Amino acid sequence: MRVLTISGSLRPDSYNALLLHAVEEQAPADLELHPFEGLADIPHFHGDRTDPDPVPEAVERLRREIEAADAVLISTPEYNGSIPGTLKNALDWVSVPFPDNAVKGKPVAVIGASTGGYGGMWAQAELRKVLGIMGARVVPADFSLAHAQQQFDEHGSLKPNQAGRLAVAIEQLLAEAQPLAA
């Protein structure tokens, strides 16, 4: 099974990137994880839904990677109680053409890490709402990592007490995507 992973943070060493690394560390051997690396390359969405051509190459690459995946896993930080602008911008591009866009019917799970006490729950709720409106099959997996600065060891690995919680969220995504991959 092929899962596209997207970190909503542009910082390579962010807690959300570390969270996706933790997914890689505990993923089953037959799971192919493909991180999307071009979030910063996506230009501002201009909102012209009638004629979005020419579509920028970075947007086309993201759409192709979503279409090639059996499922998508997004790890998002929370900025001012909501979704990071770069992530929302990328999803606005992916949402067209509506309703037949790249995420329509695709299983998508949302997880996140934050230094605050709620683990980015507001951003995750907002992101689930946006994905649902886009037509994604939003998986009810729930993983909010609060006080992320305390949840990784000195090597950047997720502490064992959190790894089990993360595994449950990933299992939910894989269970939802399994019939599609078969």
pLDDT in tens, the chain (182 residues): 999 999 999 998 899 999 999 999 999 999 999 999 999 999 999 876 555 578 899 999 999 999 999 999 999 999 999 999 999 999 999 999 888 999 999 999 999 999 999 999 999 999 999 999 999 999 998 899 999 999 999 999 999 999 999 999 999 999 999 876 65
- Tell me what pLDDT residue 88 has: 97
| Bridge partners of residue 34, in order along the sequence | 4
pLDDT for the residue numbered 97: 87
Q: Where are the domains of the chain?
A: 2-181
Topology annotation, domain 2-181: Rossmann fold (3.40.50)
Name residues whose C-beta falls within 8 Å of residue 112's C-beta, 6 or more positions apart in sequence. Answer: 8, 16, 19, 75, 76, 77, 78, 119, 120, 121, 123, 124, 143, 144, 145
Cα–Cα nearest to 67, from 4, 115, 143? 4
